[in-house]
Homo-oligomer: A and B are copies of this chain.
């Protein structure tokens, strides 16, 4: 009996010793996360949050995976323009498509938001949701990041994967709330982040229901239904979840309103910004970047007590080692 008790004791010590956030350096950021988690999930304390209210929202681009040199979804759209070009001979002389097909994306993007909108509409509409799903699955399984040569789904941040798993293990529902297209993310978020499609909120195009000859289809139209960015993020959270999160994670001014809405609520809250300050292991950018600009939200962070994570100092690893990437895990 004594031996048996000893084993039980040793076993529970081992469990306690396992760090759920091994890729986070010891420091203020990690402490703030652990303290938030403990104080909201310990029953009988002032800050206890009942399980049904444990909603945590995560931005995607720049918060869960890399967004440099361009957003992954834009790289997808560029590749789709090339794939669809044979069906569109007129693109040879029509901007922004002509520049893209000549291999000059910079010239294509000189048209600004209007050019991007045209590229997105031409590549994300005019097909059924099921066909688009297949196109995304095929692309994401093979397309590689232009700088690292890794699959895009392996360009995810190991410390954030641990954070997602840690919060879920403690009863949180982890939602993605991204400016990216919801139909572009849902096919792979379960596999990569452990987030099911119904917990992905993003920008959306309009859909049309078609029914003919006993076939039902949802067709993607070239029109915007909802933009899930900046002010759109708290609005999307209300539309889709109907509860205010207790924790929100972002990296740019596009996440500022989501963090405000989350942390201004009663009781203990956590707002966190990932600061891209590691030019060696990732990219260093903030106030002047066109992609993922972090400026106003950085100013607001100190005012509101948001945690600012230094990728350089707070993270032991940026990307998962090959065996732990989403692709590696499946092998």
Contact = CB atoms under 8 A, between A and B. Distances in A.
A171 interface: no
Interface string A169-207: 000010000000011001000100000111010001001
A243 B198 contact: yes
Contact of A234 (B216, B234, B238, B240): B216
A214 interface: yes
A25 interface: no
**Chain multiplicity (copies):** 2
Contacts of A143: none
A238 B197 CA distance: 10
Contact of A257 (B200, B209, B243): B209
Given A242-B182, A257-B211, A216 B264 contact: yes
Contact of A241 (B190, B197, B235, B257): B197
Interface in A263-302: 264
Contact of A235 (B196, B218, B257): B218
Given A234-B216, A261-B216, A242 B204 contact: no
Contacts of A209: 231, 234-235, 257, 261
Given A216-B264, A218-B234, A264-B216, A243 B197 contact: yes
Contacts of A215: 264
A141 interface: no
A117 interface: no
A327 interface: no
A243 to B, nearest CB: 6
Contacts of A214: 264
Contacts of A226: 225
Name the prevailing secondary structure of the A interface residues: mixed
A211 B239 CA distance: 18
A225 B239 contact: yes
A200 B238 contact: no
A196 B261 CA distance: 21
A228 to B, nearest CB: 11
A207 B207 CA distance: 20
A95 interface: no
B238 A129 contact: yes
A313 to B, nearest CB: 30
A-B interface, 9 closest residue pairs, ranked by CB to CB distance from nearest: A197-B242, A209-B231, A207-B235, A186-B242, A198-B241, A216-B264, A216-B261, A209-B234, A216-B260
20 contacts: A52-B196, A129-B238, A182-B239, A182-B242, A183-B242, A197-B241, A198-B240, A198-B243, A200-B242, A204-B239, A207-B238, A208-B231, A208-B235, A215-B264, A216-B234, A216-B264, A218-B234, A225-B226, A225-B239, A240-B240
Given A209-B231, A209-B261, 19 more contacts: A52-B190, A129-B238, A173-B198, A183-B242, A186-B242, A197-B243, A198-B242, A204-B239, A207-B235, A208-B235, A211-B257, A214-B264, A215-B264, A216-B257, A216-B260, A218-B234, A218-B235, A225-B226, A225-B239
